[in-house]
Structure 1
Amino acid sequence: MADGDDDDVDQEKMAAEWEQMAGGGDGDQDAMAAEWEAMADGDDDDDDMGGGQSTRILNQDEIDSLLGFDASTDSDGDKSGVRALINSAMVSYERLPMLEVVFDRLVRLMTTSLRNFTSDNVEVSLDNITAIRFGDYLNSIPLPAILSVFRAEQWDNYGLLTVDSSLIYSIVDVLLGGRRGTAAMRIEGRPYTTIERNLVERMVNVVLDDMEAAFEPLSKVDFNYDRIETNPRFATIARPANAAIVARLRVDMEDRGGRLELLLPYATLEPVREILLQMFMGEKFGRDSIWENHLATELWSTDVDIEAVLEEQVMTLGQVMNLKVGTTVLLNATPDAVVELRCGGVPMVAGRMGRVGQHIAIRVDHRLKRNGHPASTS
């Protein structure tokens, strides 16, 4: 029995030791976890306050927003980021206010001309006017399309007129007697026929005539048809990086119609840039014709003093200081000597001295330059 009691005591001591060791181990683990948290907090404080270093990484949405490639925004809308810096050199068409007036006049003229051309009810509307690089415009043309190159003779440069496929088939259908109420048949995968190209060429000539009439109040210019292309690469009339103005027109013929785009490079508009900068037709930039006429009338009625110089002599300062009352100064003038007339010290004319009644008169022989020499009579 004694041995059994000793074994029970030993087991109880061993269990107590185990409990004490387990309790001490939990305390060490808690202390170690607290130390790790303190170390982590210290690292964060060092990142925020020491040296300005940060471990934050941008996500994909923030990178796209920084570069300006946000898929949620429209490509024609406002750009931001790096793309905004790249496109900041583009010149806005709003700097040419008179150009909007010209295109509005073109829309009215085209509505009447295309009605006479197609014998149908045609409505032409201006969608928008934008500034774009020429290379970007060629890449944005939806194919198939017909590109008509024309030349502005007085401006010595070229322009581009793009007709989309919908308008091409609509014009062909109308001119060849297609019935109303049926959409134009569009056959994919084939080039335009000679008849279609000729009919579109006739419509392009009508539009070019209207463009001449639209620009006529500003500047006399002849837009001559040059050629028709179906491949944008062969219709290159400017460098890809050059800026251009694009006016997008919509042509509606009841249930048919399409788009027509007019492109004018800035180099083409350069000869009339000063005129297109005007805010309204006939602006003179501060010039007032009424004031000019009034000033000219007053100048003609202004009184001026004319001096008749008989003779001049060059004298030294000593001779001038020795002049006294009664001193005689001899002049080399003779009755036939030339007399010079001056206004405000400026030589005007020269002539001969004579007498008319009780007055001394001067008969003008010739005009004088500012240096006193006779002016040429040619």
Structure 2
Amino acid sequence: MADETENEEIDDEAVAAEWAAMAGAEDDAPDDDAVAAEWEAMAAGDAEDDDGDGYSGSAPGRVLDQDEIDSLLGFDGEDDGGDSHGIQALINSALVSYERLPMLDIIFDRMVRMMSTSLRNFTSDNIEVSLDNITSVRFGDYLNSIPLPAMLAVFRAEEWDNYGLMTVDSSLIYSIVDVLLGGRRGTAAMRIEGRPYTTIEQTLVERMIAVILKDMSAAFEPLSPTNFTFDRLETNPRFATIARPPNAAVLIKLRIDMEDRGGRLELLYPYATLEPVRELLLQRFMGEKFGRDSIWETHLATELWSADLQLRAVLDEQVMSLRDVMNLQVGQTIQLNVTPQDSLEMRCGEVTLLNARMGRSGQKLAVQVNNVNRLKRAGRKE
């Protein structure tokens, strides 16, 4: 018991000594007033630093103003069409502007008018088709954003040797089925959840898709004759993959209204599909002439007929070496393999337009045209 008491006293003395050492260390540490004074000195030094070295101190109280925050985030509020910066540049890095193909606006405006007529004949109902917008998306992002259930029709552009995608949402599917099967007008189509589409529904939607593809071919015909054919119908977006997920594509959103019912129809064209007609889609003009101006064509044709043309009468052609040409002397005669009865060629540049015969008219040499078939054929080719 005595030993235990001594050990406890020793431990108490050691603890007391340790606490005393810690108290001494706290006395030696700088107080709060000294720390505050040091921070104030640092802040004053940063405020007076005008040497232009770009160093920014980390003193407390340094707050970014609104202009600096907007510059950092890239939201300056000025949409001047220039390059974006900051976080805005990172956000827009995945976007592709469809404005590089302005011809698509005219093509799909034409398609909307044609669809209004063809779908009205197809359903025997009053149908209004409207174009919502045309945007650019990544193919993978679009597949992930499709609201299910829906039907995805894969179609093929035969002349372009590539594919496109048409998405029909569930509202439009049930509306078309209801209209074609004699549903009552003025009531919204009943939507049944939790079941796959039946064979009848898929068949009716395929008939509507065939009508839309025909109108699409007619809309592209003035620009580039293209035949869009139906390939397959899918209900799972994974099976409708026609391009790589990061590839850019043009998305066209259409709205089809049938009185109190209707839905959305979306068309997706990968940029690889539109590449064969990219030069044609870059045209910028108004109207539906698709690059043709009848007034200018008439004026050009009139001026061409009154243009001056220089003709050369070619008697004969011979092949000579450069040595013989350099050795020609004044007064030397070159024999031509023609007679006065032979015909000669009348040429414009390197093109032979007609045949003629050499003659004389008064004191001048003349040619008499005896064959104009070449000229007529050349005119038909032009």
TM-score after normalising by structure 2: 0.66
Q: Deviations over 1:134-190 (max 9, x none)?
A: 111111100110000000111111111100011111111111111123222212111
Q: What residue number does 2:379 align with?
A: none
Task: Kindly report which structure 2 residues correspond to 1:122-161, keeping only aligned pairs within 5 A, or say none.
Answer: 122-161=127-166
Note closer, same or farther for the CA distance 1:192–1:354 as it changes in structure 2 (3 Å cut): closer
200, 204, 212: which is aligned to 2:209? 204
User: By how many angstroms is 1:336 displaced?
Assistant: 6.6
Contact between 1:308 and 1:342, CA under 8 Å: does it hold in 2? no
1:42: how far off? Answer: 0.6
Shift of 1:86: 5.4
> Aligned to 1:298, what secondary structure does the other structure show?
coil
Give the drift of 1:85.
Answer: 3.4
Task: Identify if the C-alpha distance between structure 1 residues 336 and 306 changes in structure 2 by more than 3 Å, giving closer, same or farther.
Answer: closer
Quickly say closer, same or farther: Cα 1:88–1:307, change in 2 above 3 A: farther
CA distance 1:305–1:138, shift in 2 (3 Å): same
TM superposition shift of 1:88: 3.7
Q: State the SS of the aligned residue for 1:146.
A: strand
The residue type equivalent to 1:40 in the other structure is W
Is 1:271 matched with 2:279? Answer: no
Alpha-carbon separation, structure 1, partners of 2:122 and 2:37: 87
Q: Confirm or deny: 8 A CA contact 1:309 1:342 kept in the other structure.
A: no
How many residues in Structure 1 have an aligned counterpart in Structure 2? 307
Structure 2 counterpart of 1:331? 332
Residues 77-116 of structure 1 mapped to structure 2, 5 A cutoff: 81-82=86-87, 84-85=89-90, 87-88=92-93, 90-116=95-121
Contact 1:164 / 1:259 at 8 angstroms: preserved in 2? yes
Measure, in 1, the Cα distance between the counterparts of 2:241 and 2:332.
81
Deviation at 1:33, TM superposition (A): 8.2
Match of 2:256 in 1: 251
How far residue 269 of structure 1 moved from its aligned partner, in angstroms, is 1.2
More off after superposition, 42-51 vs 205-214: 42-51
Look up the match of 2:57.
54
Once the two structures are superposed, residues 65-110 of structure 1 have per-residue CA deviations (whole angstroms, 9 ceiling, x without a partner) of 96789xxxxxxxxx97435335346432222222111111111111
Q: What aligned pairs does 1:1-378 form with structure 2 within 5 A after superposition?
A: 38-48=37-47, 49=49, 52-55=55-58, 81-82=86-87, 84-85=89-90, 87-88=92-93, 90-280=95-285, 281-283=289-291, 289=297, 290-291=299-300, 294-295=303-304, 297-300=306-309, 302=310, 331-333=332-334
Distance 1:342 1:117 in 2: 61
Amino acid at match of 1:141: I
Which 5+ residue runs of structure 1 have no aligned equivalent?
1-31, 70-78, 321-328, 365-378
SS in 1 for 2:147: coil
Aligned sequence identity (%): 58
In 1, are the aligned partners of 2:151 and 2:169 still within 8 Å (CA)? yes
Secondary structure of residue in 2 paired with 1:225: strand
Q: CA RMSD, aligned part only? A: 4.6
Gap change, CA 1:63 and 1:172, over 3 Å in 2: farther
Change (3 A) 1:358 1:184: closer
Give TM-score scaled by structure 1 length: 0.66
Q: Could you tell me which runs of 5 or more consecutive residues in structure 2 were left unpaired when the two chains were aligned.
A: 1-30, 76-83, 369-382
| CA distance in 1 between partners of 2:35 and 2:361 (Å) | 127
TM-superposed deviation, 1:283: 2.5
Distance 2:249 2:259 in 1: 32
Residue aligning to 1:76: none
SS of the residue corresponding to residue 224 of structure 1 reads strand
Question: Which entry has the higher C-alpha Rg, 1 or 2?
Answer: 1
Moved more, 108-117 or 79-88: 79-88
Structure 1 residues 203 and 42: CA distance shift in structure 2, 3 A? same
3-state SS of paired residue (2:308): helix
CA contact (8 A) 1:307 1:342 kept: no
Matched to 2:146, the amino acid is I
Residue 158 of structure 2 aligns with an amino acid whose one-letter code is E
**Alpha-carbon distance in structure 1 between the residues aligned to 2:267 and 2:300:** 42
